[in-house]
Each structure stands twice: as structure tokens, then as C-alpha cells.
Amino acid sequence: MAVSGFEGFEKRLELNFSGEDGLIAATENGLRDLDFEVIQQVLSEVQCTVVSALSNTCMDSYVLSESSLFVYPTKIIIKTCGTTQLLKSIPLLVSHAHHLLGLHVTSCRYTRGSFIFPKSQPFPHTSFKDEVHYLNLTLPSHLCYRKARVLHPSKKSSSSHCHAWHVFCASDHQHAHLFDDNNNDERDDNGHDDHGGAFTMEVCMTDLDQGLAEKFFGGGEVTAREMTWATGIGEINPNQVVCDFAFDPCGYSMNGIDGGYYSTIHVTPEEGFSYASFECNGELEEEILLEDGRVNVYDMLEKVVQVFRPAKLSVAMTGATRSVSTRLRSVVESFGLTRRSCSGDDQFPGSGKVVFQTFSTSRRK
């Protein structure tokens, strides 16, 4: 392991909003009406910039100099790597949403893995304790349902194989229990609620196959689009529209949007601290292909592992059931990785269940 290098593990922040009546009309743009100058101001506080953008009728997506930003009418997701100060975006986002758009925040979810270089992180990301303290001080008091937890690997698993998963969730009274067991258990074809079994899957991969990682070195000679298709990333969800960016001399980021669904990939390929992440959202009821042709979460995860062939991998599912996690385990273990731990499965306000699994194998020579 290198003494120092670029921090690939991202911090992820999701804020949900609503109007004063608790709703926002489907025809309203909501947060999407924030001027680009406001977006830039927020990102400046975080210490990153926009390098590429893509929109459809459901959302605006931005590839950042350090990861990604997604803006829906009532939801904003920011994911940043390196030594960015992600949580410093909260005061500006909450203030601008309220004063410029008449929206108030209803829930917050913050997640991250274990930093490779934790001593390089600036405040408030110096420790999870500091992050939670900052969140508790910064978030409005009406987000009164709050929970913070570190999902550790099980005691029988070696720390050399596994990373921990850090979760903080806060919600107001109205949205605190939307995803509790009665709304988050498995459903039949006609039994889903208004949230349709929504999930978010966050995959973190380290110790990437060296030959595959080398495909993300460009040096200005390889375009982002060439990387997308040469590596197989373009086939993960053929239905999505991709916005990609190749960094010089190495590194890669992409956002893919498919209606109201997104996926995002970020790659730090340097040997010694190689890292890649994949995140997507979707519906738990999906099978191999839905009637409208959308690819399911299991198929996407299989293709992601094939692209990077990591020696270590973790999967965090928010809004998951045990059966979903079992199927995800089967997908990962088909590549020769062994599950080292499975933790979580408890409720978080405004988010539902979070199940965290870690996998590893011996490093290839």
C-alpha cells in the first residue's frame, strides 16, 4: 500500500425536499430551477467543479472533478472523493432551496466507506464522530429522527479483507417511517407502495486487476468514450445515456441516466491504491429484464465485477431485503470472491434497511 495517494473512497450526501404543503407538482422543476451559478457556489464550498453535464426530463446530472452530482425536482445527490469537504454543502443547499424555491429539507442520508488515507481528510471528515457532530449541528432541528452507525465487518473476518460502512440518516416526522418493514418487505407484482421498492446500491472495489486498471490511463491520447466502450462500461446498462470524462494522466468518471434512474462509476487506477466505485438506483421488483427493457440490479452488478475484477469488494444496499442481498452474494461469489461479512439489516429513518456485505479473494499474481 502506498504511503500516500489519491483518496478514491467517496463521501455521499443525499438530501430530500418538499414544498410547504408536503408535495411538489409533477410539472414543477423544483431544485432543477437552481441557477448554475448557485450550483457552482455550492461546489466551490465542497472544493470541486463541474467538468461535464447531461440532462433528461427527470434529472440533471453533472460529472465533477471529484465524482458526481444529480439534481431531481425534490432530491439532490452529491458524491465526492479526494479531500473534498462534502458536508459543507449542506447549509448552502438548505438555505437556497428554502429562500429561492420555497422548499424545505425532509430527510438526509450520508454514507461512506473506510478511507484509504484517513489522516489526509480535512475537517469535518477527520473522523466519523466529527462528521456526525457536524451533521447534528448543521441540519435543521425538524429532522428530529436521527441515527448514526458504523457497519463493521464481523469479528471472524480479517480487517485486511474488509472495510466498514458509515451511515447517518435524519428525517422529519412525516418521512421517518416511509421505508419501515411494512413498506420494505418483499411484495407481489401488485403490492408495491408509492416508492415501488426503491433501492440504492453502492459498490466499492479495491485492488483492481492491474491489466484492466491500465485501460483507465489515457495521458490525453485516449478519449473518455473510448474508455467507456473498451472496458465494457458501456454495456452495463445499454439503455442509459452516458456522460463520461477521462482524466489526465489517468482516472475516469461517468454518469449514466435512464429515465428517472441513474448510475455512476469512478475509477482511480494507480497500482497500490487502485479503486473503483459503482452506484445505481432502481426497483427491487425487477427480474432479468422489466417489460420496458430496463436491466436489473443483479445483471448490472455482474457486469461491473467483470469490468474491474477487484480483489476486494463491498456492496451496501439501502432499501434492501435479505433475499436481494443473498442474490447479490451469489453474483459476486461467481467471480471467485468469498463473502467475509454481512452486517446491518436494521432500519434508518427516512431510508429503510441498509445491508452491507464485504467480499475478497487472494490477490492474483
In the annotated binding site, the residues are 6, 66, 247, 270
CA-nearest of 282, 291, 287, 263 to 320 is 282
**Structural contact between residues 4 and 83, judged by C-beta atoms closer than 8 angstroms:** no
CA distance 314 to 157: 13
Q: CB neighbours of 73 closer than 8 A, spacing ≥ 6?
A: 24, 28, 29, 30, 31, 32
Strand order in the sheet with 198-206: 241-246, 252-258, 261-268, 275-283, 198-206, 312-318, 352-360, 338-348
Q: What share of the chain is helix, strand, coil (3-state, %, to 5)?
A: 25, 35, 40
Q: What is the DSSP letter of 224?
A: H
253 is catalytic: yes
**Structural contact between residues 360 and 161, judged by C-beta atoms closer than 8 angstroms:** yes
Of the residues 67, 89, 314, 325, which is catalytic?
67
CA distance 103 to 172: 14
CA distance 253 to 3: 24
CA-nearest of 276, 271, 273 to 227 is 276
67 is catalytic: yes
Of the residues 61, 266, 314, 342, which is catalytic?
266
**Structural contact between residues 339 and 328, judged by C-beta atoms closer than 8 angstroms:** no
Of the residues 18, 48, 61, 81, which is catalytic?
81
Of the residues 18, 253, 263, 351, which is catalytic?
253
CA-nearest of 93, 72, 70 to 80 is 70
**Helix locations, 155-198, DSSP H:** 181-184
CA-nearest of 32, 30, 48 to 89 is 48
107 is catalytic: no
In the annotated binding site for substrate, the residues are 6, 66, 247, 270
Active site residues: 67, 81, 253, 266
